Amino acid sequence: MYYLIYIGDRMIFIGLFVFIAIVVVGLNMYDNYNLQKIEDYINKEKCEKYIYSKGSYKALCQDKILEISNSFSIDIKQDKIEYNYKDIESIDKEKKNILINDRDKISFSKDEELENFYIQLEEKLNKQD
């Protein structure tokens, strides 16, 4: 009798573990689909250089900077922020952020990412002049 209860407890534990594993794998596949959807949009917009940092893609396109936040459900039209190069009057570095016109902020998680993006952005803005 006690032996059957012991086996039943094991089966519940194994079933719970399998259920959690299936949920984790499913969420990971869904997240990868979202990332691919964002990358496809960035490529469609003909953005040359992009980086994923701090939960969003930042991309340097032909005539704008594009920032698209990654979330559980993606609506690119709603989740994107565009900064047209012609509207950018100033850019500054502040901690791990790039300030655009002293009011809009693009955040990065690493100083290297910030430096690379900032240099490339300066080059783009200088070409626009």
Instruction: Report the mean per-residue pLDDT for the chain.
Output: 80
Q: What angle do CA 34, 106, 38 make, to 5 degrees?
A: 15
pLDDT above 80 for 26: no
Residue among 50, 18, 57 nearest 35 (CA): 57
Pick the residue with more confidence: 73 or 102? 102
pLDDT tens for residues 92-120? 888 888 888 888 888 888 888 888 888 88
Q: How confident is the model at residue 128 (pLDDT cuts 50, 70, 90)?
A: low
Two tokens, residue 116: 């690379």
The per-residue pLDDT for 4 is 45
DSSP, collapsed to helix, strand or coil, labels residue 63 as coil
pLDDT tens for residues 74-88? 777 787 888 888 888
pLDDT above 50 for 1: no
Residue 61: CB atoms within 10 A of its CB come to 19
Q: What is the mean pLDDT of residues 3-31?
A: 72
C-beta of residue 65 within 8 angstroms of C-beta of residue 58: yes
Q: Is 95 left (phi over 0), alpha (psi -120 to 50) or beta?
A: left
Domain residue ranges in the chain: 2-128
Q: CATH class for domain 2-128?
A: mainly beta
For β-strands 64-69 and 49-53, DSSP reports them as unpaired
Alpha-carbon distances of 33 from 30, 37, 66, 75, rounded to whole Å: 5, 6, 20, 13
* Percentage of the residues of the chain whose pLDDT score is greater than 70: 85
